[in-house]
Chains A and B, each alone.
Chain A
Amino acid sequence: MKPPQFDYHAPGSIEEAVTLLGSYGGDAKVLAGGQSLIPVLNFRLARPGVLIDINRIGALSFIREADGGVAIGATTRQRMIEGSDIVGRRAPLLADATRLIGHLPIRTRGTIGGSLSHADPAAEDPAVVTALDATMVALSKRGERRVPASGFFRSLLTTALEPDELLVRIEFPPTPAGTGTAFVEISRRHGDFALAGVAAQVTLAGDRASEVRLAACGAGPGPIRLAAAEKIVRDGGASAASIEAAAAAAAAGVEPTSDVHASAAYRRDLVRAMTRRALERAVARAAGGTR
């Protein structure tokens, strides 16, 4: 298992990276943390002619507060995200989810931008940006393009990024006061990709759930926003009955497939269970004031 031959470039600036992408486009692969791409190269399942390593671009690694929310550079390591106070305060759902990604050495190298660009349907980060309506900011020689999460994930392992575009940062909207979050998933073993998982963020205003955000991973060709379930809780409140109904709606709204590890029916049923558990935990956290 050794990678095939490629030409390697390690640009020092975003401009340089974008120029390279402009010249090589479809023949190039962007190397971020490498935790998904290098295995694919080692198995020789991908044979890019050119590898553009963006790890030396310092300007792509940051976490900062922006417009009440948080902006995160594409090569920011997952390890940095899980330990970040800003993320903990401004995007607690992302912090919850990041802790479930792989194992510590994987998160030490793995980047948020890499995970989103790779778009594995079972991965956590895509579900989080989908639930939170985060914005993916892509750059090319043609200029900057802002892609909402709802339009970013196209199909299995495919995003809206054009061959000459580089994902440079992700912008998360503000998290309202009175919000609780939870990311729950079932995997065959800890650290494995989820068989199915659900991201939940609930904002309580008195008895009402003023804002509900839900997305599933492992339940379709990409992350799935569970809009029908959200509506049930928004309209019906955070009662047990309402949560149960939302869980059923979530299960009805996903399109899982079968593979060697789990059948579609099981994944669908897991989405139901995970939706309920995620909502219960998020509501409890929102009520308790701990996210």
Chain B
Amino acid sequence: MANAGIGQAVRRREDFRFLTGTGTYTDDIDRPGQVYAHIVRSPHPHAQIRRIDTAAAERASGVLAVFTHDHLAADGVGGLPCGWLVKGKGDKPMVEPPHPVLATGVVRHIGDPVAIVIAATRVQAADAAELVKIDYQMLPVVTSTAEATRPDAPRLHTDAPRNLCYDWELGDKAAVDAAFARAAHTVTLDLVNNRLVANAMEPRAAIGEYDRATGTHTLYTTSQNPHVIRLLMGAFVLHIPEHKLRVVAPDVGGGFGSKIYHYAEEALVTWAAKKVGRPVKWTADRSESFVSDAQGRDHVTSCALALDKDGKFLALRVKTVANMGGYLSTFAPAIPTYLYATLLAGLYATPAIHCEVQAVFTNTVPVDAYRGAGRPEACYLLERLVEKSARQTGIDRAEIRRRNFIPRAAMPYQTPVALQYDSGDFVANMERALKVVDYAGFAARRADSARRGRLRGIGLSTYIEACGIAPSDVAGSLGARAGLYEVAEIRFHPTGSVTVFTGTHQHGQGHETTFAQLVSEKLGIPIENVEIAHGDTAQIPFGMGTYGSRSIAVGGSAIVKAIDKIVAKGKKIAAHILEVAERDIEFKDGKFQVAGTDKAMSMGEVAFAAYVPHNYPLKELEPGLDETAFYDPKNFTFPNGCHICEVEVDRETGVVDIARFIAIDDFGTVINPMIVEGQVHGGLVQGIGQALVENCVYDGASGQLLTGSYNDYCMPRADDVPSFQVETNESAPCTHNPLGVKGCGEAGTIGAGAAVMNAVVDALATVGVTEIDMPATPHNVWRALKNAKT
């Protein structure tokens, strides 16, 4: 037990099933009588649907039904809802165009679903789908973020002139303008934050089922948040009350944000299962994933930093255009606003910040949160700008950061962009990283690389993120259409074991282990006696799911709160049985002890007494030991850290190799260091992926997706990355949640991109290249080198 508590690298209990092939992912589930759906999708980025002819498909072998928008409309099926209302300048609400489950009249991106074919087997459905004849009238196309608002750009939605969803701002424009007017140095930068595809290794899948006997619908789906899906789909799309709708998210093979949202296919299989009277299963193939999973990033930004003569930051000005894609995905509007602009202070005491964001519609797959969600974009521009400022002012890159960091003593610190940081020791993290990387020895390493004909560069990146999403009142005031608390139920069983029901969902994070460690330690019972249940709305009281590095900070805190209730009740029970006053009972190491004596009851004995209440305070206390808690966070949590990357560049071919990568992170209290380290590793590689290889590209003229397979959309492979040196600093725990935890799921992705690109720029600067956009592919680096030479 001593080896299973908080701070221990407990081996994951999830692993056995995954290592032996006995996990249960959605596509592993087959329901009796199940039939298969194939979605007919638009091959065109923008077109009018003139006619849909399903007759041949309906006659095809094995086909049960073919449905189009008209069938949904006849049943009163609603559109896909957006969960966040952003208000722009002058409090103008964003444009929120309809997002039909199956396209009606117009298709707006490649992959836009148009019809659903249901057949006895999967290949029969696929074969029949090819027989659905759709007569399209092509419309002009815009895919480019920067060009979407041009007057001559084709309009996607009638109610969105210039394709503008909103024009939003945050911060004090006048103060920023004044600061720039008196600045000794002004540093400007134009950046593109490339569009990414999350590419969880498990493609999305969904099975709908309807039980005529009880009138209950069940949806098995690859979701990060089954209760959110139940809420959105039940209330807005299919009009099924929650008590008649069960959503199960079993083992899920990675999410990274892409499995947060309520997708058309979930509603389609749930609705169709009742129509055809059979369970209906849909599993995406990878080609479909590329055109139907929400994508990430896609910003075009101009920014500028004003500095005084000593290199102190005076003001930051940011103008961003953010691509929403063809429709608004569930949380899309919030990402480039409240998860982006609010982080623009970074670790710095910049007194004035102003950020304007225009969100635009284009003929591309919808964009929403992808690992980091807004925060990598903020970190990337800020850290690129700081590095450029160092170069421009001649101040060392570490020194300029040192001069501008918010000191630990200034906590809690109110930034000029709404957030209040509670904790962090930014200087210490950077100094540690500099020491680990041997910053002073870089010149020698660079010289050594040069002897081998290679350009070496070093790049720093410091980051802070707002995690533990989110205080519901704050989120609500900013436009969230849901609460963002978390829920836990601790159910003691009569003989002393415990099932913990959590509203968070794991899809790789190891909650079954981490949460069990936490419960084992707090209740003083063996970890083997703790089961963590999640992912089934029929089992779990409620929950908002897993994203934004919130599970331990919000879900873990809810568990602590429920444990506190268990202990409080346990004290009453123990006091009665031990015949002392409740205030004389202390709970420690799994024992209810009469203070100052050796009279005690174990947790198990108390639980047994609660379920077999023969000697029990029945007059004042209910039997049973089962407590539920809702925890609404008091503030965001603020994980932060410093990443340092060293790269070598082959000047002739443009190939970039990562030589070293160091990450020093403050996640507050660490429950399981092995799992936390794994989260950092994975995050770093996704950040490195964006910086070096990943890029989702649409052809500007045709609007076709050019990177719709794993051949063309490149993700890092094992031999593209080195082993990382990572450490955590636990000296500045979160001050407002009971565990002192901050969250660790996204940090790697947030910090890595800027560190890599700063290193690339540093390497290339030695031969005259000053700027380059992500991804720094061999071709892009080569081109930058060529352009610098001429």
Contact, CB under 8 Å: A186 / B285: no
Contact, CB under 8 Å: B779 / A266: yes
The residues in B between 680 and 712 inclusive whose CB is less than 8 angstroms from any CB of A are 693, 697, 706-707, 709, 711-712
Tell me, yes or no, whether A12 is within 8 Å of chain B by CB: no
Q: Mark A256-277, 1 if CB is under 8 A from B, else 0.
A: 0000111100100110010000
Q: Which residue, of A44, A266, A270, has the highest number of chain B Cβ atoms within 10 A?
A: A266
Contact, CB under 8 Å: B653 / A261: no
Contacts of B778 in A (CB 8 A): 186, 188, 195, 262, 266
Tell me, yes or no, whether B777 is within 8 Å of chain A by CB: yes
The CA of A250 and the CA of B712, in the complex, are separated in Å by: 27
Contacts of B712 in A (CB 8 A): 260-261
Tell me, yes or no, whether A2 is within 8 Å of chain B by CB: yes
Q: Which residue, of B130, B286, B655, B779, has the highest number of chain A Cβ atoms within 10 A?
A: B779
The residues in A between 242 and 288 inclusive whose CB is less than 8 angstroms from any CB of B are 260-263, 266, 269-270, 273
The CA of A23 and the CA of B419, in the complex, are separated in Å by: 74
> What's the minimum C-beta distance from B763 to chain A, rounded to whole angstroms?
18
The residues in A between 199 and 221 inclusive whose CB is less than 8 angstroms from any CB of B are none
The CA of A189 and the CA of B692, in the complex, are separated in Å by: 10
Tell me, yes or no, whether B13 is within 8 Å of chain A by CB: no
The CA of A263 and the CA of B778, in the complex, are separated in Å by: 11
Q: Mark A228-240, 1 if CB is under 8 A from B, else 0.
A: 0000000000000
The CA of A195 and the CA of B778, in the complex, are separated in Å by: 10
Partner of B706, one of A189, A192, A260: A260
Size category of the binding interface on chain A: 20 to 34
Contacts of B719 in A (CB 8 A): 190
Q: A263-B783, A270-B653 are in contact. Are A192 and B711 (CB under 8 A)?
A: yes
The CA of A253 and the CA of B286, in the complex, are separated in Å by: 38
Tell me, yes or no, whether B287 is within 8 Å of chain A by CB: yes
Q: A2-B123, A2-B126, A260-B706 are in contact. Are A190 and B717 (CB under 8 A)?
A: yes
Closest to A258 in B: B779
Tell me, yes or no, whether B396 is within 8 Å of chain A by CB: no
Q: Mark B480-495, 1 if CB is under 8 A from A, else 0.
A: 0000000000000000
Q: Mark B650-669, 1 if CB is under 8 A from A, else 0.
A: 00111100000000000000
The CA of A191 and the CA of B693, in the complex, are separated in Å by: 14
Q: A195-B779, A261-B712, A269-B782 are in contact. Are A43 and B653 (CB under 8 A)?
A: no
Tell me, yes or no, whether A1 is within 8 Å of chain B by CB: yes
Contacts of A273 in B (CB 8 A): 652-653
Q: How many A-B residue pairs have CB under 8 A?
A: 53
Contacts of A260 in B (CB 8 A): 697, 706-707, 712
The residues in B between 750 and 777 inclusive whose CB is less than 8 angstroms from any CB of A are 777
Partner of A188, one of B285, B777, B782: B777
Partner of A1, one of B127, B286, B707, B720: B286
Contacts of B590 in A (CB 8 A): none
The CA of A188 and the CA of B714, in the complex, are separated in Å by: 8
Partner of B782, one of A1, A192, A266: A266
Closest to A263 in B: B779
Closest to B125 in A: A2
The CA of A35 and the CA of B547, in the complex, are separated in Å by: 37
Contacts of B779 in A (CB 8 A): 195, 261-263, 266
Tell me, yes or no, whether A108 is within 8 Å of chain B by CB: no
Closest to B719 in A: A190
The CA of A262 and the CA of B653, in the complex, are separated in Å by: 12
The CA of A167 and the CA of B255, in the complex, are separated in Å by: 45
Tell me, yes or no, whether A4 is within 8 Å of chain B by CB: yes
Tell me, yes or no, whether A5 is within 8 Å of chain B by CB: yes
29 A-B interface contacts by CB (under 8 A):
A1-B286, A1-B287, A2-B122, A2-B126, A2-B285, A4-B127, A5-B127, A43-B709, A186-B653, A186-B655, A186-B778, A188-B714, A188-B777, A189-B693, A189-B714, A189-B716, A189-B720, A190-B717, A191-B717, A192-B714, A193-B711, A260-B707, A262-B778, A266-B654, A266-B778, A266-B779, A269-B782, A273-B652, A273-B653
Which B residues are within 8 Å of any A CB, using their own CB?
122-123, 126-127, 130, 285-287, 652-655, 693, 697, 706-707, 709, 711-712, 714, 716-717, 719-720, 777-779, 782-783
Given contacts A192-B711, A193-B711, A261-B777, 18 further A-B contacts (CB under 8 A): A1-B285, A2-B122, A5-B127, A186-B653, A186-B655, A186-B778, A188-B778, A189-B693, A190-B717, A190-B720, A192-B714, A195-B779, A260-B697, A261-B779, A262-B779, A266-B783, A269-B782, A273-B653
Across the A-B interface, the 3 shortest Cβ-Cβ residue pairs: A1-B285, A260-B706, A262-B779
